[in-house]
Every structure is written in C-alpha cells, then in structure tokens.
Amino acid sequence: MLNNIEGQNVPSVTFPVRVGDEFQHITSDELFKGKTVIVFSLPGAFTPTCSSTHLPRYNELANVFKQNGVDDIICMSVNDTFVMNAWAKDQEAENVTLIPDGNGEFTDGMGMLVDKSDLGFGKRSWRYAMLVKDGVIEKMFIEPDLPGDPFEVSDADTMLEYINPNQKKPEPVSIITKPGCPFCAKAKALLSEKGLAYEELVLGQQASLTSLKALSGRETVPQVFIGGAHIGGSDDLTTYFENN
C-alpha cells in the first residue's frame, strides 16, 4: 500500500555520501530543517525515464522553483553514493542535489519501498514527489499503483503547477558560441540580463561547423535558439527582446 503521509515529518535518516576521496554524512535535519524543499524519488539511477525526463526537467525548472520560494531540489534513489555520483556527472543535474538512500531507510520510512525483484533490482523506491517545508510534508504526488513504472504526476511541471499555477514556464534556450567571441559574450550577457537560463554549445566541442550550418543556415556565431525557433546572432537577439 502506497500511503499519502501529508502533514507528517520526513524520516530521520543519516545518509553516507562520498565527497572526493572520503565519506561524509548528511542528516535529514541538514537537508530539510528551516527550508522549503522539493523531493522527487525514482526507481534507479541511469534508468530510462529517470534519465531522459524526470531528473532533467527538475534541473531545467530549478531557477523557476527558486523564484517561488524553493530552497533546494533533492533527487532520492535507492542507490549507493558511487552510482549517484556517476549519474550526476552523466546528467543535467547541476541544480539538483542527488541523495543516495543506499539502504532504503528514508524510502522505507516514507512507505515507498517496493519490491522490484522481477527486474533484478531488489528493493527500490516507488516513483513520487513531495513538497517539504521545515521537515513537514505539505504535498505528495504519488504515481498510481499500476504495473510497470507509471510517470504521470511526480513530474516537475505538476509540482510547479501546485506551487504557482500562474507561473509562466521558461522557453528552452540554446546558444552556439566559440571561445573569445565578443558577440557571443554580448548575447550570453543579454540572456542572463533577461533571466533566461541557457545551454551553451561550444563550436569544436559540443557542436561542429556542419551542425551550425545545418541548424541555422549560417556559419557565424553566436546562433541563438529559443523555444524551437532560430533567433540568430547577438543583434537578432536584441531585436527579439525589443519585440517581445
């Protein structure tokens, strides 16, 4: 039975985490006391839905959540700290705190520990999300108790809708640049000034000249893309903001 325990305190657990070459310990109090925290929990690091959608979207909306009073976003999984550290490096996760619930103590205390032995996983977390204020669970979004791994209500957009239904969601922004380009620096500064988070693709590293031409039809940088639309260079970006 997957119980909703809104109004109760989060479990009191000490988490061993690997930082650099040594183990450290983080307690539930350190994570939650005096803070407003989003927690989303999932079956396992590196698993498909967790990697492609669940974690990246919370990471993408992190700044918006912070604008709405959220101090931290925690991704919890019944994996050891080495696996969680490796997953963090592999993912878009710089705005999310990944916590290894290796022994499943926190997940068990939440009543969310389930048997995934049929997949060779052993005991893992059911997928859910919650909003916690000063250690007290205000709201839980628990995936329906259906076969497989349902992903319907624990997503970042559902959480944001609960916290602020009037919040405008940011458009995804990507910019192709090259080192030492003053026009690139101008475009990035303008995006930051407008409060837009962006993904930077550096020519010769994350993007090739072929990709630049194929995507933009141009050979110059920067090239800015917002919400699926090609905006263009730094001057085009200035015009875009003047008209929007």
The string of pLDDT tens digits covering residues 111-160 is: 999 999 888 889 999 999 999 999 999 999 999 999 888 999 999 999 99
- Same domain flag for 207 and 120: no
Q: What is the pTM of this model?
A: 0.84
- Same domain flag for 111 and 28: yes
- Same domain flag for 134 and 177: no
50 in catalytic set: yes
- Same domain flag for 39 and 155: yes
What is the pLDDT at residue 197? 84
Cβ-based burial of 95 (10 A; exposed 0-12, middle 13-18, buried ≥19): middle
The string of pLDDT tens digits covering residues 168-219 is: 888 999 999 999 999 999 999 999 998 888 999 999 999 999 999 999 999 9
What is the pLDDT at residue 178? 96
* Span 21-27, average pLDDT: 96
- Same domain flag for 145 and 45: yes
- Same domain flag for 21 and 123: yes
- Same domain flag for 55 and 28: yes
- Structural domain includes residue 213: yes
Supply the range of the domain harboring residue 43.
8-163
The string of pLDDT tens digits covering residues 61-115 is: 999 999 999 999 999 999 999 999 999 999 978 999 999 999 999 999 999 999 9
DSSP state of 9: B
Domain count, the chain: 2
Which single residue is written with the structure tokens 């602020």?
164
DSSP per residue, 161-213: HHH-TTPPPPPPEEEEE-TT-HHHHHHHHHHHHTT---EEEEBTTTB-HHHHH
Which single residue is written with the structure tokens 């319907």?
152
Q: Say whether 122 sits in a helix, a strand or coil.
A: coil
Q: Say whether 4 sits in a helix, a strand or coil.
A: coil
What is the pLDDT at residue 1? 63
- Same domain flag for 129 and 203: no
CATH number at residue 22: 3.40.30.10
- Structural domain includes residue 128: yes
- Same domain flag for 159 and 198: no
- Structural domain includes residue 156: yes
Domain stop point among 144, 163, 182: 163
Q: Are 81 and 88 in contact (CB under 8 A)?
A: no
- Same domain flag for 27 and 143: yes
Catalytic pick among 50, 75, 181, 184: 50
- Structural domain includes residue 2: no
* Span 221-236, average pLDDT: 97
* Span 13-41, average pLDDT: 97
- Same domain flag for 46 and 65: yes
- 74 strand-pairing partners: 39, 97
Q: What span, in angstroms and rounded, lies between the C-alpha atoms of 238 and 25?
A: 48
- Same domain flag for 158 and 178: no
What is the pLDDT at residue 119? 84
What is the pLDDT at residue 190? 96
